[in-house]
Amino acid sequence: MNDTSASISSVDYVGGMLGYLGQSVRARLRLIVLGTLIAMLVVFVVDRTRPAVYSAEATMQLGRVDGADVMPMQSTVLHMNSAPFRRRVAEAIGSAGGGDKAEERLFDNFTVRPQTSDLASLTVNGPSEQRTTEALQAILRTLNADQEKLRLPVLEELNTQMALIDANVASLMKVRETLASMDAVAPSSSTDPASLALRRVWLLDLVSRNEDRLAVATSERRALATRIGPSKTYPATLGDDVTIRQVSPRPFRYAAFAGAIALLALLLYAMMSKPRRARMR
C-alpha cells in the first residue's frame, strides 16, 4: 500500500513539474525564442570579427650525435619552455614577418610535450597556415642552433679521429705499394737460392702484417663513419605528419553553445517566475 502511494506520488510530482514547465514556457515562449536567437546572433557576429587563428601540430624528433641524444628529453622540453628560448623564437619570427608584435605574442604561446624518449609533440598558433608553418621552422632552427654548441665539440673530436685513421690508412697503402715493388724487383747482387727464399719469406711476413694493420684501420674507419653518419648523427627534425587546422573564428560552434546556454537560462527564468495568470489572480 505504501509502495503504491509512493509510486503515485512520484508520477503526480513529475507530471505536475512537466505541466508547470509547459505552462511557464507557453507564457514566455516569445521571450525564450527571441532571447535564444539574439544570443546566438550576437555571438555569431562577434566571433566572425575576430582575426583568424590557425593551430599546427607536429611531431619533433630530437637530434643525436654519435647515437646519443644531444640533450635528454626532459632537458630539451625545459629548455624550449624557458623564457630566453621563447624570446629568441619570437625575435626570429618577428624579423621574418616584419616585426608584428601581435604575431610575436601569438607565436610565443607554443607548447612542447614529450611523447617518447626521442619524440616530442609541438603545437604553435599563427594568423595563417603559411605563417604557422614558418613558426614551426623557426622553432626548429632555434633549437638546432642552441644544440649545435653541444654537438660541435663531439663532432670535432670524431673528425679528428677520422683524420688520424685516414692518415694511417694512407701510410699503410704506401707501405703496401713499396712491398709490392720490392717483391717484383729481383735482387741482382745475389743469386743464392737460400738468400732468395729467406728474402721471399721476409717480404711475405711484412706484407701479411701490413695487410692485417690495413684491415684493422679500414674497419675502424668504417665504424667511425657510421658513428658520424646520418643514421647516428643528425639535427632535430619535424615529422611528416604536420596538421594545421583553423581554431578561430568558429562562429557556428560558439553560436550553438551560446544558444544552448541562453535557452537553459531562459527556461530557468520562466520556471522561477510566476506565470501571468497567477499574478493576475
- Helices (H) then strands (E): counts for the chain: 9, 7
C-alpha cell of residue 247: 581554431
CA distance 159 to 146: 21
Q: Do 80 and 121 contact (CB within 8 A), yes or no?
A: no
| pLDDT for the residue 280 | 45
Q: Which residues contact 82 (CB under 8 A, 6 or more apart)?
A: none
Contact of 53 with 63, CB cutoff 8 Å = no
With bands split at pLDDT 50, 70 and 90, how would you rate the model's confidence at 260?
very high
Confidence of residue 268 (pLDDT cuts 50, 70, 90): confident
How does strand 53-61 pair with strand 111-114? Answer: unpaired
Task: Label residue 98 left, alpha or beta by phi (over 0 means left) and psi (-120 to 50 means alpha).
Answer: left
Rounded to a whole number, what is the distance in angstroms from the first to the last CA of the chain? 38
Averaged pLDDT for residues 26-55: 86
What one-character DSSP code corresponds to residue 23?
H
Residue among 75, 50, 42, 237 nearest 125 (CA): 50
User: For residue range 205-250, what is the model confidence (pLDDT) as tens digits?
Assistant: 888 898 999 999 999 999 999 999 988 999 999 988 889 998 887 8
Which residue in 151, 82, 83, 77 sits closest to 119, CA to CA?
Answer: 77
Q: Quick check: 130 and 80 in contact, CB under 8 A?
A: no
pLDDT at 189 over 70: no
* DSSP state for residue 189 in the 8-state scheme: S
State how far the Cα of 187 lies from the Cα of 198, in Å rounded to an integer.
Answer: 12
Q: How confident is the model over 247-258, as a mean pLDDT?
A: 85
Proportion of the chain above pLDDT 90, given as a percent: 37
Distance CA 32, CA 264 (A): 9
Q: What sign for the dihedral angle of Cα 258, 261, 265, 268?
A: positive
pTM over cut 0.85: no
**What mean pLDDT do residues 72-76 have?**
92
The CA–CA distances, whole Å, from 83 to 49, 92, 108, 146 equal 32, 14, 10, 14
Domain extents in the chain: 2-49+249-280, 53-248
The answer to which of 121-135, 193-207, 222-236, 247-261 has the lowest mean pLDDT is 193-207
User: Using alpha carbons only, what angle is made at residue 122 by residues 119 and 127, rounded to the nearest 5 degrees?
Assistant: 160
Does residue 7 register a pLDDT over 70?
A: no
Q: Quote the pLDDT of residue 3.
A: 52
